């Protein structure tokens, strides 16, 4: 069995591709159940965020094509579409990648903490549907511990840098004074909590929180000293919004072009700054064509993010050293786990040989053979049985393979070097 990760991320895949190939939180339980049901897949997990979608599996090495075909069918994309953006990691590479992701070293903004919570959520869902087993469970737990270690031993998370922070920085470029502006936040998840806190810190005039669940909107609005509405009331509040930030898990568009056109009619040429942080998108991209609208997607935040990443480069280098060390430690555990299974098989075969020889010895004793002769029989027969298979393999091996096997045999039996 191999540990394999198939994925795509913001590094190579545009937002449109990430849209098409992502899984919503509601999709995950059923998708994981189908993935785990594939022949040969012992364990599985799916991590799907606005910036990446990854399939992790414990499966035979030749099953990567099968996993890829499953992903293609699930998202109904043509053959060859995923391969344009795909990366593949195996065994130690897969472990290292997972630890880097958990520590925020592979994120759009290096060191951002959100991905750790998203990984924990993915692991929780996979556990609930019993898609993970001993290997992935240990890998996730190890990744969580390493992420904590990275944050405690480096400065990679010391600066307030995140997608939410970058969004607010961009808003401050458009509006020199946020005190006079009304912000409409669509969604009540972790991203919108961070956006709201940053806006509050920079003194935004008014915050309105819209969410499908009014209860969750009210909870976030209380924290931000704002006002809560349901998504159905959104059109009535769009005209008052100077800044619109959206991040939901909805499959369809939240704000259509026609809805925004009606809102603009009563704004009298006052500009609207809109940021769509959702994947799939919440805001119709065609809204960018309207006058007085400044619409940005998550990919447009790259310039702001690039500047902030410089603050973390040295800390990230230190974190990479920690990650490599911890990945190698996990790989050693994987190897010892494989060795343990082999050792058990060897012991089981030795016990079976022992029991067979002892039974023959009892029959010889019962037939009246001298004990000394029976003991000699036991010693000779047992030695021959244990050494028969290794000796046969050594004799049949070619010169190169024989040299490798002889070296391994000397180590296993602690023989002196020739």
Q: Annotated catalytic sites, by residue?
A: 50
Tell me if 187 is assigned to a ligand binding site: yes
Tell me which H or E stretch contains 117.
helix 114-128
Name 274's Cβ contacts closer than 8 Å, sequence gap at least 6: 243, 244, 245, 246, 283, 287, 293, 294, 295, 296
Check whether 196 is labelled as a binding-site residue: no
Does residue 52 have a known ligand-binding role?
Answer: yes
191 annotated binding-site participant: yes
Q: Are strands 52-59 and 43-48 parallel, antiparallel or unpaired?
A: antiparallel
- Has 69 been labeled as part of a binding site? no
Q: Find the helix packing angle between 134-153 and 313-366, rounded to 10°.
A: 140
The 3-state secondary structure of 352-411 reads HHHHHHHHHHHHHHHCCCCHHHHHHHHHHHHHHHHHHHHHHHHHHCCHHHHHHHHHHHHH
The CA-based dihedral angle spanning residues 304, 308, 309, 311, taken in that order and rounded to the nearest 10 degrees = 160
371 is in an annotated binding site: no
The whole-angstrom separation of Cα 88 and Cα 64 is 9
> CA 126, CA 137: separation in Å to the nearest integer?
9
Instruction: Let me know: does 104 contact 157? Beta carbons within 8 Å.
Output: yes
Other CB atoms within 10 Å distance of the CB of residue 133? 14
Q: Report d(CA 358, CA 351) in Å as an integer.
A: 10
Q: Tell whether residue 107 is among the known ligand binding residues.
A: yes
**Annotated binding-site residue? 308:** no
Among 297, 304, 272, which residue's Cα sits nearest to residue 283? Answer: 297
For 143-208, the DSSP string reads HHHHHHHHHHHSSTT-S--SHHHHHHHHHHHH-S-GGG-EEEEE--SHHHHHHHHHHHHTT-SEEE
Token match 């400065």: residue? 155
Give the separation between CA 8 and CA 89, rounded to whole angstroms: 11
Largest CA distance in the chain: 114
Residue 188 assigned ligand-binding role? yes
Q: Is 53 a known ligand-binding residue? A: no
118 annotated as a binding-site residue:
yes
Answer whether 126's CB lies under 8 Å from 44's CB: yes
> Quick check: bond before 280 cis, omega within 30?
yes
The answer to whether 112 is annotated as binding is yes
Annotated binding site for substrate: 49-52, 107, 112-114, 118
Annotated binding site: 49-52, 107, 112-114, 118, 187-192
Annotated binding site for NADP(+): 187-192
């Amino acid at each position: 069995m191999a540990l394999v990760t198939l994925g795509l991320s913001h590094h190579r895949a545009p937002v449109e591709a990430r849209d098409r190939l992502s899984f919503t939180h509601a999709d995950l339980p059923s998708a994981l159940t189908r993935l785990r049901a594939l022949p040969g897949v012992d364990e599985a997990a799916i991590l799907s965020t606005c910036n990446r979608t990854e399939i992790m599996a414990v499966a035979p090495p030749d099953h990567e094509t099968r996993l890829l075909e499953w992903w293609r069918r699930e998202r109904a994309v043509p053959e060859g579409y995923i391969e344009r953006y795909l990366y593949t990691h195996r065994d130690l590479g897969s472990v290292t990648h997972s630890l880097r992701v958990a520590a925020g070293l592979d994120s759009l903004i290096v060191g951002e903490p959100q991905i750790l919570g998203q990984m924990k959520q993915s692991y929780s869902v996979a556990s609930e549907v019993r898609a993970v087993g001993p290997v992935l469970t240990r890998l996730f737990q190890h990744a969580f511990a390493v992420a904590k270690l990275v944050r405690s031993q480096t400065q990679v998370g010391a600066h307030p840098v995140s997608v939410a922070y970058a969004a607010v920085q961009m808003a401050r470029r458009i509006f020199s004074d946020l005190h006079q502006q009304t912000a409409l936040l669509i969604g009540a998840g972790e991203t919108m909590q961070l956006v709201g806190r940053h806006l509050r810190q920079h003194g935004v005039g008014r915050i309105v929180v819209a969410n499908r669940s009014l209860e969750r909107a009210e909870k976030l609005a209380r924290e931000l000293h704002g006002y809560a509405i349901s998504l159905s009331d959104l059109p009535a509040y769009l005209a008052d919004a100077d800044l619109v930030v959206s991040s939901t898990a909805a499959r369809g568009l939240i704000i259509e072009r026609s809805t925004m056109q009606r809102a603009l009619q009563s704004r009298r040429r006052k500009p609207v700054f809109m940021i769509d942080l959702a994947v799939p998108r919440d805001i119709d991209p065609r809204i960018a064509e309207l006058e007085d609208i400044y619409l940005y997607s998550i990919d447009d935040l790259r310039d702001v993010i690039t500047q902030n990443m410089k603050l973390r480069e040295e800390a990230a280098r230190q974190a990479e050293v920690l990650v490599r060390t911890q990945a190698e430690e996990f790989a050693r555990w994987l190897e010892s786990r494989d060795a343990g299974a082999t050792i058990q098989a060897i012991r089981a075969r030795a016990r079976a040989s022992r029991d067979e020889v002892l039974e023959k010895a009892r029959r010889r004793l019962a037939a009246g053979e001298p004990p000394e002769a029976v003991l000699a029989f036991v010693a000779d027969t047992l030695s021959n049985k244990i050494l028969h298979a290794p000796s046969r393999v050594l004799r049949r091996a070619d010169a190169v393979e024989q040299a490798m096997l002889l070296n391994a045999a000397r180590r296993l039996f602690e023989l002196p070097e020739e």
